[in-house]
């Protein structure tokens, strides 16, 4: 099974503390899904400012978990500063949704959450 996040990144941050790792995973699962949904809704409604805010808010967690969607997040941030149609950013949003949904499942499995 392909891993969509890098557990070694978390282990390094947590200094091997398994309880802390589980807390990191739990916090990610509590915070990111509603932010992801809100960002998708903001893009759907072409609310650029809100899309930017959620993309920017999620970026540190995405980096910490080693999730390979930073380019997509950065593209959404950049799009929010333009007048381009939302269609240019939809493939990025789809990739983020696809990848993060796999991350959510992997974290639940890996940490029995």
| 28: in domain | yes
| 66: in domain | yes
For residue 70, what pLDDT is reported?
A: 96
The first and second tokens of residue 61, run together, are 């967690």
Task: Give the list of residues 6+ apart from residue 27 with CB closer than 8 angstroms, or none.
Answer: none
| 2: in domain | no
Mean pLDDT by 10 residues, the chain (113 residues): 84 90 96 98 97 97 96 97 96 98 96 94
Q: pTM for the whole thing?
A: 0.93
For residue 64, what pLDDT is reported?
A: 94
Greatest CA separation for the chain: 46
> Measured between alpha carbons, how far is 92 from 98 in angstroms, rounded to an integer?
10
> Measured between alpha carbons, how far is 80 from 78 in angstroms, rounded to an integer?
5
| 1: in domain | no
Contact 43, 96 (CB under 8 A): no
Structural domains of the chain, count: 1
Q: From the CB of residue 96, how many other CB atoms can be counted at a distance below 10 Å?
A: 22
**DSSP letter at 86?**
G
């Amino acid at each position: 099974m392909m891993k969509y996040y890098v557990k070694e990144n978390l282990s390094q941050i947590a200094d091997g503390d398994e309880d802390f790792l589980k807390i990191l995973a739990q916090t990610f699962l509590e915070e990111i899904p509603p932010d992801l949904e809100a960002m998708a809704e903001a893009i759907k409604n072409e609310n650029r400012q809100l899309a930017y805010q959620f993309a920017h808010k999620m970026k540190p967690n995405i980096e910490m978990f080693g999730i390979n969607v930073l380019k997509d997040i950065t593209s959404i941030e950049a799009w929010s500063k333009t007048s381009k149609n939302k269609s240019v950013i939809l493939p990025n949003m789809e990739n983020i949704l696809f990848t993060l949904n796999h991350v959510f499942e992997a974290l639940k499995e890996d940490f029995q959450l």
